Chains A and B, each alone.
Chain A
Amino acid sequence: QKEVEQNSGPLSVPEGAIASLNCTYSDRVSQSFFWYRQYSGKSPELIMSIYSNGDKEDGRFTAQLNKASQYVSLLIRDSQPSDSATYLCAVIDNNNDMRFGAGTRLTVKP
């Protein structure tokens, strides 16, 4: 079992819709969670970090964390074509190593 799992996609949503990206992790003691965005051919860049259960909002982005279910998600409201990218979930594990999921490819269609 992979330590951080994401649906590879592709996930396709129309412009203006809500995109929902999901991630599960196996290390129950993980405390720090991150969402990175990676455009094709580019390096990952941080979108959100979340440390506590519940929701964290930043503009059109909302990260949701449920430690009991070992689940973290990213919602993108009012999706734009410029949001089309691969989204990487990352988790700091019990060894203080950052583990990445394989990423979910999102396409927002105009």
Chain B
Amino acid sequence: DADVTQTPRNRITKTGKRIMLECSQTKGHDRMYWYRQDPGLGLRLIYYSFDVKDINKGEISDGYSVSRQAQAKFSLSLESAIPNQTALYFCATSDLGIGQETQYFGPGTRLLVL
């Protein structure tokens, strides 16, 4: 079984709809991240969480919100989807400490906003 899972894997929605992307991990890591990937722009950090009570904005948090329901679960919400949020979204986890920053990625969610 995969250590980092994401649901759904693909989603088509309409402008203005609220959607939630979910991420679960079995690695026991405290840190979790949400990225989006766009052609030519690489991975950009949306939000990250270092533990259940810690939520931090990343580089491009506008239009997104997150919830860390448990150590193993971190969800990303688009309150009112817009077409330029069409992208590939990745969840990732990492451990604590210097030398432990390797991030382990989920399989990704392809989102299309019409």
Contact = CB atoms under 8 A, between A and B. Distances in A.
Interface stretch (B11-19, B37-45, B67-75, B78-86): B37-45
Contact of A32 (B40, B45, B98): B98
B90 interface: yes
B108 A43 contact: yes
Contacts of A46: 102-104
Given A88-B42, A98-B45, A100-B43, A43 B98 contact: no
Nearest to A102: B42
A43 B90 contact: yes
Nearest to A6: B42
Interface residues of A, number: 22
Interface string A9-37: 00000000000000000000001101000
Interface residues of B, number: 22
Interface in B32-73: 33, 35, 40-45, 48, 58-59
A97 interface: yes
A56 B59 CA distance: 30
A68 to B, nearest CB: 21
B105 A102 contact: no
A45 B40 CA distance: 19
A92 interface: yes
A66 interface: no
Contacts of B90: 43-44
B42 A103 contact: yes
10 contacts: A4-B42, A8-B40, A32-B99, A42-B107, A43-B107, A46-B103, A88-B42, A92-B101, A100-B35, A100-B43
Interface of A: 4, 8, 31-32, 34, 42-46, 49, 51, 88, 90, 92, 97-103
